[in-house]
Amino acid sequence: MPLKNTNIVSAAQTKFGKLEGVTLREMFAEAVDKATTQAGVPKEDIQAAFIGTFIPEMLVHQGHTAPLLLDYAGMRGLPATRHEAACASGATALRAAIMAIESGLYDTVLVAGAEKMTSVSTNRATEALAAAADDEFESGIGLTFPGVFAIAAVAHMQEYGTTEEDMALVAVKAHKNASTNPLAQFQKEITLEKALTPRYIAWPLKLFDCSPISDGAAALVLTSNEKAKQYTDTPVRIIGTGQASASMNLCDRTVLTSFEASVKASRIAYDMAGLGPKDMDFAVVHDCFTIAEIIATEDLGLFEPGEGARAVREGVTALDGDMPVNPMGGLKAVGHPVGATGVKQAVVVYRELIGEAGPNQVPRHDTAIMHNFGGTGATCVVNIMRRADA
Amino acid sequence: MSGRPSLEQYKKNIEARDFKAYKCAKCGAVIAPPVGVCYSCGGTQMEWTGVSGKGKLVSYTVIHVAPEQFQDEAPYYIGIVELEEGTRITVRLTGLDPQRPAEVKIGMPMVLDYDTGKSGRTYLAFRPA
Ligand SMILES: CC(C)(COP(=O)(O)OP(=O)(O)OC[C@H]1O[C@@H](n2cnc3c(N)ncnc32)[C@H](O)[C@@H]1OP(=O)(O)O)[C@@H](O)C(=O)NCCC(=O)NCCS
Ligand SMILES: [Zn+2]
């Protein structure tokens, strides 16, 4: 049965990128302010906060971030809990908020995510991010996140003939979409040749196959049907949600060309919504690496296994294609402040669904899917959203 | 090496270049890296077992940008190897040129090895057979 009572009524993000001189709490407060006061939702209406941050302990030496951030944003006193699931932290916070509203416990809640990553060197950030993999058996021997997805890429290339050029085309599309997104870290188009620059991070993944190290925050207000109309004429309903886990270790998977948690979480979400992949007008997927986008589009059933690369080559996933994927530029070009990402993906879906995505507006925008992925794919959250009047 | 297998001992064995896997006492499944419950039968009673040291390469990468503690060792190979005994394990790969990864073939036969890195740590490794 589709979820019945959860609406997004406002959504905002800060600019993503190297936000020199802006601290975690300052960007959090900016995103929250934009999604509440500036969007006509008084902060006094918020009853609880669900907050995604991944590794602030390692990046800015700060734990217990939920009350800290909420306090700085002027909302001291509310129940505030941090949700951590590596790169899926944001979407697990969102899911907890969905459950809180569907249960009737609250009417109106805040969902927000933030990460400050450029405070440390690239090697340091790489090490901190590696905490999302198993420290005993994989990250502990020097496997990195680009490495995890490189191993999946090599398997996908072998199994389906996917090429480095196919992956580079995902980057070209991402940078093109981000070129008209003023909140993106990279706002310049790149050529295929540039995307193929052989600066290897984890072979066969090169600089342009990777999402960057970023700072940023995003926020949403969720509310019940009864309250939604007092904030907006165009609420967006969350009608299906799914979450699944998988083995932490990549070596414990029998298949490396697909992520089983993505498949499971999406089937749960589709079943709940009573819809299938063909009903989706566009998709926002977790493209932490170019290969991750290709595999995600297959795992969500948008394309057959092994057909994701062809969809990119033929322009199907372009902004004006039949199934636009990451229409605002994705993690790849907009940036990936880890704890903010899952929330930001919902911000993108919201803006596209209500028709306020400006030059990045997709033509058909009634129903969409978002896919947020954590670590080696050990956590995946999928949500299906629809404009309430669609 | 008697007694109940432990993670600590598993790592000490690798450090001592004497790799041992877990074996499910109930169904005999060979398990590495260790898990608390056997995925074949649900058994929780584990024993130590030696392995043949033979396997084949499942997938791999060459790490160029590494975590701080490993950067001095980069570029280095990491791969997943399926042991003859059936279990898959993530390891360092030795005996391969990090500048020529395209020449490495998935499915190629591999044998157990160890690699002591600049960090002084000994890694479980496999090299082409
Ligand atoms: C790919 C990566 C290693 C590059 O870091 P780096 O080598 O320190 O790169 P630098 O910061 O020195 O940047 C060099 C240039 O490339 C650009 N750049 C950095 N990362 C980029 C990226 N991912 N894509 C495109 N351009 C990038 C920079 O803007 C800079 O451009 P400039 O010279 O014009 O100023 C780093 O971004 C990274 O680790 N990304 C993966 C993050 C990750 O794993 N996230 C979790 C996913 S699950
Ligand atoms: Zn067993």
Structural domain including B28 reads 7-49
| Same structural domain, A42 and A150 | no
SS3 A163: coil
| Same structural domain, B94 and B118 | yes
Phi-psi region of B79 (alpha: psi -120 to 50; beta: other; left: phi over 0): beta
| Same structural domain, A219 and A241 | no
| Same structural domain, B61 and B97 | yes
Residue the block writes with tokens 């899917």: A369
Domain count, chain B: 2
Contacts with A259 from chain B: Cβ below 8 Å: none
Q: pLDDT for A315-354, tens place per residue?
A: 999 999 999 999 999 999 999 999 999 999 999 999 999 9
- Give the span between the Cα atoms of A329 and A334, in whole angstroms: 6
| Same structural domain, B63 and B37 | no
Residue A289 is assigned to a structural domain of this protein: yes
Enumerate residues 6+ apart whose C-beta is below 8 A from A223: A7, A9, A101, A107, A108, A109, A231, A235
Query: Cβ(A64)–Cβ(A94) under 8 Å?
Result: no
Residue B2 is assigned to a structural domain of this protein: no
CATH code for the domain in which residue B95 is found: 2.40.50
The average pLDDT across A194-223 equals 98
By Cβ distance, the residue of B59, B66, B68 closest to A155 is B59
Nearest CA to ligand 1 atom 29: A186
Domain count, chain A: 2
From ligand 2's centre to the CA of A249, what distance in Å?
19
| Same structural domain, A224 and A269 | no
CB contact under 8 A, B66 and A137: no
Residue A153 is assigned to a structural domain of this protein: yes
Q: How many CB pairs under 8 A join A and B?
A: 104
The average pLDDT across A247-266 equals 97
Distance from CA of B2 to the nearest CA of A (A): 22
Structural domain including A17 reads 7-121+213-228
Residue the block writes with tokens 């030059």: A359
Share of chain A above pLDDT 90, in %: 100
| Same structural domain, A198 and A220 | no
Q: Is the ipTM of this complex over 0.95?
A: yes
- Give the span between the Cα atoms of A109 and A97, in whole angstroms: 7
Query: Cβ(A113)–Cβ(A341) under 8 Å?
Result: yes
Query: Cβ(A354)–Cβ(A237) under 8 Å?
Result: no
Catalytic site includes residue A336: yes
The average pLDDT across A347-373 equals 98
| Same structural domain, A33 and A89 | yes
Residue A282 is assigned to a structural domain of this protein: yes
Q: pLDDT for A22-63, tens place per residue?
A: 999 999 999 999 999 999 999 999 999 999 999 999 999 999
Nearest CA to ligand 1 atom 44: A145
| Structure confidence at residue B62 (pLDDT) | 98
| Same structural domain, B67 and B23 | no
| Same structural domain, B97 and B116 | yes
Contacts with A251 from chain B: Cβ below 8 Å: 33, 58, 80, 88-90
Counting ligands in written order, the one closest to the CA of A152 is 1
Share of chain A above pLDDT 70, in %: 100
| Same structural domain, A310 and A352 | yes
Q: Six-digit token pair at A69? A: 């951030």
CATH code for the domain in which residue A101 is found: 3.40.47.10
Residues of chain B below pLDDT 70: 1-2
- pTM beyond 0.90: yes
Mean pLDDT, rounded, of chain A: 98
Contacts with B97 from chain A: Cβ below 8 Å: none
| Structure confidence at residue B2 (pLDDT) | 60
